Structure 1
Amino acid sequence: MVTSKHPELSGLLVVNKPKEMTSFGVVARLRRVTGQKKIGHAGTLDPNVDGVLVVALGRATKLIDLLQTRPKTYTGTVTFGYATESQDADGEVVADQPLTEGLDQAAITAAMADLTGDVIQIPPIYSAVKVNGKRLYEYARAGETVELPERQATIYRFDQTSDLSWVEGQPYQQLDFEAQVSKGTYIRTLAYDLGQKLGLPATMTALRRTAGSGFDLAQATDLDDLLEMDFDQLCQKIMPIEAVLDWPRKDLTEEEYFAVKNGQKIPTTTWPQTEEGYYQTFYQDQLLAVYHFDADQGLWRSRYFFG
């Protein structure tokens, strides 16, 4: 286990977050064992959800906004016949409609297709969405009423991955699914909305994030294993910032280095416009900054500076 103070680390740790722990709890433990002040995560996972949580350290924290925009993939289970206030298995049941016969598979397939693409979601009252500076779950705990906001999301894929089956000893049916979604999507709301399409209450009863921010479970390390590593072992798990950047590389001349180091704008007479609109800039084989093309002004601007 890392116990002593070390120089600043910069890069990304891909963590397999366990259940029964908040994303903040993961960051707090890693902050303690690495001694890093600058540390954060890209994309919160609820305590009852396990899977990929990307943690950024040092200068890599500047990329959290970029990491959060990348699609996320989940596997999970939706159960039909009852719904909860939180739309997952942790909430109190608010609707119960026992099934007397099996669901129609064709109707489910059509409903899942209808929920693919750009959708509008209304998140549950027990969620962290803010309304007037206050999180929805704070309103719920205080017994206050509030109008639930609409949120836009994109569902890139929503696929059934198992046959329908009866929940043992109960009048409910369930199926497994895989979904690839945009930032801000509530998977439990997606499960609930699937039930609504079928005229039934539904609840997300299991969930795992299998990919997010450009990384998947195969690249993730269990949190407990990370916490038991010595400093050198932990460093081997840290991916460099360049691991998440897929834009063209530009090696800087001495003159360009001075301009980029000082955040100067670069005209298209110096750097022609590219299809990607981004450059990773390197000096002496070290990543210095990312530049973005400003189409409105027709020049290049510094987007991320790593120093």
Structure 2
Amino acid sequence: MAKQTSNLTGLLVVNKPKGMTSFGVVARLRRISGQKKIGHAGTLDPNVDGVLVVALGKATKLIDLLQTVPKTYQGTVTFGYATESQDSDGAVVEEKPLVKDLDPVALKAAFKSLEGDIIQIPPIYSAVKVNGKRLYEYARANEPVELPQREATIYEFAPTSALEWLPDQPYQRIDFDAVVSKGTYVRTLAYDLGQKMGLPATMTKLTRTAGSGFSIEQATPLDELMELDEAGIAAKLKPIADVLPYERKDLTEEEFTWVKNGRKISSWPKTEQGFYQLYFEDQLVAVYRYNEEEALWRSRYFFL
């Protein structure tokens, strides 16, 4: 039986297996860690594996920050058919068997055309909410709904292999790397790539290789984490400071008292980033953010 309470604070970099939801990963880690305050940064679909950063304790305050860091993926897109979910989990809704090799020059240009700031329309089988209901709930109930548009930034989207035919099937596939912003649907990116080529397309494989500032080389497989006790989990935790990209400021005793009381501060010089991570006696205390309108510093995160 799991402990009822735990004081664990930090970040677990998990290598999520296929076949499990991100919520399921968090639920398992909550049981073995005993930490009720736990959450993840950046949902992975069940059929996607790779980096899932889980925050425990006071680190949960940083989930919004963690999700702003670009994510990196390696995947495969297959041309010639499309599914209702735009990945291999969904039923096929369109087919256009290929009769000849795709033009690799045109395909490379199609990849490049999807880089930058784009608008995506997520698939009906997704967790995007419309009027308080997730899109997949509308789909399962066969209820009509207008699919929303979502902004995304694609920093890199490029092929990493040659085109190849699927064995005994009229479809071609190619591997790719993608570096994308928060909220990007990579399966929709694969589908849109097919549209650029005038073909239905489906994302047939995907691994997140980096997320929230951590790489897959830093991740521990979930099954290994499940073998650990609380002390073992504690040893795997990354400290909060590892993900703070801000200038450090060491506080005097007087300043520490101000910060503990949530006081606004006008005497500190403005930084280029507009943030300070604050330490007292070598312990991370808080993050302060500069408010331009008020011309003073205000508390953004407090960790004590």
Q: Tell me which interval the TM-score lies in, with the shorter structure as reference length.
A: over 0.9
SS at match of 1:282: strand
> Deviation of residue 108 (structure 1)?
0.5
Mapping for residues 62-73 of structure 1, pairs under 5 Å: 62-73=61-72
Q: Tell me what 2:31 maps to.
A: 32
Partners of 2:230 and 2:8 lie apart in 1 by 11
Mapping for residues 153-232 of structure 1, pairs under 5 Å: 153-232=152-231
> Deviation of residue 293 (structure 1)?
0.7
Mapping for residues 24-103 of structure 1, pairs under 5 Å: 24-103=23-102
Quick one: which amino acid aligns to residue 138 of structure 2? Y
Q: Does 2:280 correspond to 1:302? A: no
Quick one: which amino acid aligns to residue 243 of structure 2? V
Once the two structures are superposed, residues 117-165 of structure 1 have per-residue CA deviations (whole angstroms, 9 ceiling, x without a partner) of 0000000000011111111000000001111111000000001000000
Partners of 1:59 and 1:192 lie apart in 2 by 39
What is the root-mean-square deviation of aligned Cα atoms in Å? 1.1
Q: Tell me what 1:244 maps to.
A: 243
Once the two structures are superposed, residues 180-219 of structure 1 have per-residue CA deviations (whole angstroms, 9 ceiling, x without a partner) of 0000000000000000001000000000000000001010
Once the two structures are superposed, residues 89-127 of structure 1 have per-residue CA deviations (whole angstroms, 9 ceiling, x without a partner) of 010111000000000011101111100000000000000
SS at match of 1:263: coil
Partners of 2:2 and 2:297 lie apart in 1 by 43
Partners of 1:81 and 1:271 lie apart in 2 by 60
Could you list the structure 1 runs, at least 4 aligned residues long, displaced by more than 4 angstroms after superposition. 2-6
Q: Tell me what 1:289 maps to.
A: 286
TM-score (normalised: structure 1): 0.97
Partners of 1:248 and 1:120 lie apart in 2 by 34
Q: Does 2:263 correspond to 1:260? A: no
Gaps of 5+ in 2: none
Partners of 2:173 and 2:12 lie apart in 1 by 34
Q: Does 2:276 correspond to 1:279? A: yes
Partners of 1:176 and 1:11 lie apart in 2 by 34
Q: Which moved more, 1:178-187 or 1:294-303?
A: 294-303
Partners of 2:37 and 2:284 lie apart in 1 by 19
